[in-house]
């Protein structure tokens, strides 16, 4: 903390804005966002693989949203949406392109209204933050150990573990805030993003655990589109030597050949069990890879959970908890071996859904649960309403503030539009858009001209594509109509994509292709 204090002292504090209401009249807002944290890796959401007591505390003392989703499941576009309250095609960030920081953002609006604004941690938008009185961000993805940070004054390496450091920096921001202003802090963790490097303590602890396999780890992809079969984010075939933390062969010196080895996914691995060596291949190897992946992923989350608890305790000990709204979410969902996958991007539930927890003592009723369809699109309008401001009419979400207060809400959304653009891109995930209602989902892979439709009430694991099932003909027609309506409503005119039909029948069964089954 002493080193970080000295570092931040160089950065300076923002000047006070005259005429702003005193801090107690408006709540402070802390927006904690982790990177790639699946909702089903939080115990309050029913996790079968880990326990997260401090995140559970947010739910116990506040509200849990059970149906929170993103509108483009990938890092940079999600962050742009959260800042602007607009879909990717309107905020200009559909993939990993540079975010235009000159456009209006919620940070600028809160700053202009007298909030002391801060951005700490992972930014990943390609441009410098704007609208923040203080910002300290990781360059690109950042590093887990001894990370470098960027500030307006330059670059600085801070020794330690990134999750602890980001929390320290956040606490310093709050501690050094102007006393006469409310504050808005975006506290963005790197964890649990790939390459899932935990602290030594949790690496050792989780290495001794056997993680339950998901029910769909061995999904054979029958009835699904070619997009699922063509993806390159499978546990069996695409986790590489670096992901798996395998020891480097001693003959490989630093250089291109060593990097090539790191990037390779092994087809056999020799392990030692009870003093005897055993070579793993096929299904046994896929199971071993799943364990290694999940052990490190969950160990990273444990540090996030610890630091959320540290932040809550720090606020409460200083009397700041009562007038501070804390949100916790992730920039997107993540596959934890579900459908044999890791990563995100697809419109399937594990990738589409995010955790959303909110705590505001005295306002949010403890233990509240909402099943409203909430979107990352809604965050900026929520922040603005909490600050007593009127959101601009071009924002496309809806404030969650009435839901937080337990007020009756009329005409809440019953469906939403999703679109993923990065094709060709990382993991060979095909571009698609679609609609999700409370009980159904329709996905269109427009470059392949293939469809998927799921009855979420009967098939929550999305194993049976019913697009060509005559019994669902009316459902498909209705969903297509709703998709067209939403597309028009959100002003998506296809400026980022052109349909490129491919040969083949829409969504028809193909040969089994999950690499874990080969």
- The fraction of the chain above a pLDDT of 70, given in percent, is 91
- CB-based contacts of 198: which residues, under 8 Å, 6+ apart? 206, 296, 299, 300, 302, 303
Low-confidence winner among 15-19, 96-100, 215-219 (lowest mean pLDDT): 15-19
Peptide bond into 195 cis (omega under 30): yes
User: For residue 496, what pLDDT is reported?
Assistant: 61
**C-alpha atoms less than 13 angstroms from C-alpha of 366 in its C-beta half-sphere:** 6
In this model, does residue 152 exceed pLDDT 70?
Answer: yes
Residue with the bigger pLDDT between 225 and 272: it is 225
Q: 29: pLDDT confidence band, cut at 50, 70 and 90?
A: very high
User: For residue 273, what pLDDT is reported?
Assistant: 84
**Cα pseudo-dihedral 97, 100, 106, 111, rounded to 10:** 140
In this model, does residue 199 exceed pLDDT 80?
Answer: yes
Bridge partner list, 63: 358, 368
In this model, does residue 18 exceed pLDDT 70?
Answer: no
Q: Domain residues of the chain, as ranges? A: 2-12+23-196+298-402, 418-513
Mean local confidence (pLDDT), 400-421:
96
In this model, does residue 379 exceed pLDDT 90?
Answer: yes
Identify the burial level of 46 via C-beta atoms within 10 angstroms of its C-beta, where 0-12 means exposed, 13-18 middle and 19 or more buried.
exposed
Q: In 3-state terms, what secondary structure has residue 149?
A: strand
- CB-based contacts of 446: which residues, under 8 Å, 6+ apart? 431, 432, 433, 497, 499, 500
Global pTM value: 0.92
CA angle, 179 then 183 then 186, to 5°: 145
Q: 25: pLDDT confidence band, cut at 50, 70 and 90?
A: confident
- 132, 107 Cβ separation under 8 angstroms: yes
pLDDT tens profile 331-352? 999 999 999 999 999 999 999 9
Mean local confidence (pLDDT), 206-212:
97
What CA–CA distance (Å, rounded) separates 162 from 174?
A: 18
Mean local confidence (pLDDT), 240-253:
94
What CA–CA distance (Å, rounded) separates 452 from 321?
A: 46
User: For residue 17, what pLDDT is reported?
Assistant: 31
What CA–CA distance (Å, rounded) separates 157 from 263?
A: 27
Low-confidence winner among 145-149, 221-225, 252-256 (lowest mean pLDDT): 252-256
- 118, 133 Cβ separation under 8 angstroms: yes
In this model, does residue 19 exceed pLDDT 60?
Answer: no
Low-confidence winner among 153-162, 231-240, 280-289, 494-503 (lowest mean pLDDT): 494-503
Closest CA to 35 of 70, 85, 59, 67: 70
What CA–CA distance (Å, rounded) separates 382 from 199?
A: 35
- 469, 508 Cβ separation under 8 angstroms: no
Helix (H) or strand (E) holding 230: helix 226-230
- The reply to whether 418-513 shares the fold of 2-12+23-196+298-402 is no
User: For residue 497, what pLDDT is reported?
Assistant: 53
Q: Indicate the average pLDDT of the chain.
A: 92
What CA–CA distance (Å, rounded) separates 361 from 98?
A: 38
In this model, does residue 513 exceed pLDDT 50?
Answer: no
Identify the burial level of 260 via C-beta atoms within 10 angstroms of its C-beta, where 0-12 means exposed, 13-18 middle and 19 or more buried.
exposed
- 267, 286 Cβ separation under 8 angstroms: no
Residue with the bigger pLDDT between 413 and 511: it is 413
pLDDT tens profile 94-109? 999 999 999 999 999 9
Q: 23: pLDDT confidence band, cut at 50, 70 and 90?
A: very low
pLDDT tens profile 258-272? 999 999 999 999 998
User: For residue 57, what pLDDT is reported?
Assistant: 98
pLDDT tens profile 279-327? 999 999 999 999 999 999 999 999 999 999 999 999 999 999 999 999 9
CATH number for the domain running over 418-513: 3.30.1120.10
Low-confidence winner among 18-22, 167-171, 374-378, 441-445 (lowest mean pLDDT): 18-22
What CA–CA distance (Å, rounded) separates 481 from 467?
A: 14
User: For residue 516, what pLDDT is reported?
Assistant: 46
CATH number for the domain running over 2-12+23-196+298-402: 3.40.720.10
**Cα pseudo-dihedral 61, 387, 375, 498, rounded to 10:** -160
Residue with the bigger pLDDT between 272 and 181: it is 181
Q: 507: pLDDT confidence band, cut at 50, 70 and 90?
A: very low
Name the phi and psi angles at 269, rounded to 5.
-140, 135
User: For residue 7, what pLDDT is reported?
Assistant: 42
pLDDT tens profile 37-80? 999 999 999 999 999 999 999 999 999 999 999 999 999 999 99
Q: 514: pLDDT confidence band, cut at 50, 70 and 90?
A: low
In this model, does residue 254 exceed pLDDT 70?
Answer: yes
Name the phi and psi angles at 354, rounded to 5.
-130, 155
pLDDT tens profile 274-286? 888 999 999 999 9
User: For residue 274, what pLDDT is reported?
Assistant: 83
Closest CA to 191 of 179, 207, 202: 202
Identify the burial level of 310 via C-beta atoms within 10 angstroms of its C-beta, where 0-12 means exposed, 13-18 middle and 19 or more buried.
middle
The distance in angstroms from the start CA to the end CA of the chain is: 51
In this model, does residue 257 exceed pLDDT 50?
Answer: yes
User: For residue 12, what pLDDT is reported?
Assistant: 37
- The fraction of the chain above a pLDDT of 90, given in percent, is 88
């Amino acid at each position: 903390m002493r080193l970080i204090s000295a570092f931040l002292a160089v950065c300076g504090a923002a000047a006070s804005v005259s005429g702003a209401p005193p801090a107690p009249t408006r709540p402070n807002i802390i927006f904690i966002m982790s990177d790639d944290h699946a909702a089903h890796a939080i115990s309050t959401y029913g996790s079968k693989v880990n326990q997260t007591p401090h995140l559970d505390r947010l739910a116990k003392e506040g509200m849990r949203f059970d149906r929170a989703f993103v509108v483009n499941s990938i890092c940079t576009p999600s962050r742009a949406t959260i800042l602007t309250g607009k879909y990717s095609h309107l905020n200009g960030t559909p993939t990993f392109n540079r975010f235009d920081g000159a456009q209006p953002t919620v940070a600028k609006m809160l700053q202009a209204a007298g909030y002391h604004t801060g951005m700490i941690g992972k930014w990943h938008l390609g441009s410098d933050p704007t609208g923040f009185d203080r910002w300290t961000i990781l360059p690109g993805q950042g590093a887990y150990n001894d990370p470098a940070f960027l500030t307006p004054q330059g670059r600085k390496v801070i020794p330690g573990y990134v999750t602890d450091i980001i929390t320290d920096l956040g606490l310093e921001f709050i501690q050094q805030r102007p006393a006469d202003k409310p504050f808005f802090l975006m506290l963005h963790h790197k964890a649990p993003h790939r390459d899932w490097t935990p602290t030594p303590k949790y690496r050792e602890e989780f290495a001794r655990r056997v993680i339950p396999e998901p029910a769909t780890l061995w999904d054979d992809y029958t009835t699904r589109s070619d997009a699922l079969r063509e993806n390159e984010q499978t546990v069996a075939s695409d986790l590489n030597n670096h992901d798996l933390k395998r020891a480097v062969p001693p003959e490989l010196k630093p250089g291109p050949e060593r990097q090539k080895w790191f990037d390779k996914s092994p087809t056999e691995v020799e392990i030692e069990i009870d003093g005897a060596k055993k070579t793993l291949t096929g299904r046994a190897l896929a199971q071993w890879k799943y364990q290694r992946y999940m052990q490190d992923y969950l160990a990273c989350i444990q540090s996030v959970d610890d630091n959320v608890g540290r932040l809550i305790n720090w606020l409460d000990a200083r009397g700041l908890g009562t007038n501070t709204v804390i949100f916790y979410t992730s920039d997107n969902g993540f596959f934890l071996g579900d459908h044999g996958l890791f990563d995100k991007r697809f419109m399937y539930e594990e990738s589409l859904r995010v955790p959303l927890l909110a705590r505001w003592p005295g306002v949010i009723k403890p233990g509240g649960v909402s099943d409203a369809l909430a979107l990352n699109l809604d965050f900026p309008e929520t922040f603005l309403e909490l600050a007593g401001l009127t959101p601009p009419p071009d924002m496309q979400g809806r404030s969650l503030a009435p839901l937080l207060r337990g007020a009756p809400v009329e005409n809440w959304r019953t469906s939403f539009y999703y679109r993923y653009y990065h094709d060709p891109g990382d993991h060979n995930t095909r571009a698609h858009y679609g609609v999700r209602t409370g009980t159904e989902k329709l996905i269109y892979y427009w470059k392949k001209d293939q469809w998927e439709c799921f009855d979420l009430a009967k098939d929550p694991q999305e194993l049976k594509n019913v697009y060509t099932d005559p019994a669902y003909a009316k459902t498909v027609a209705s969903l297509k109509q709703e998709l067209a309506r939403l597309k028009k409503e959100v002003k998506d005119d296809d400026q980022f994509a052109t349909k490129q039909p491919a040969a083949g029948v829409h969504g028809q069964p193909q040969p089994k292709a999950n690499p874990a089954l080969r």
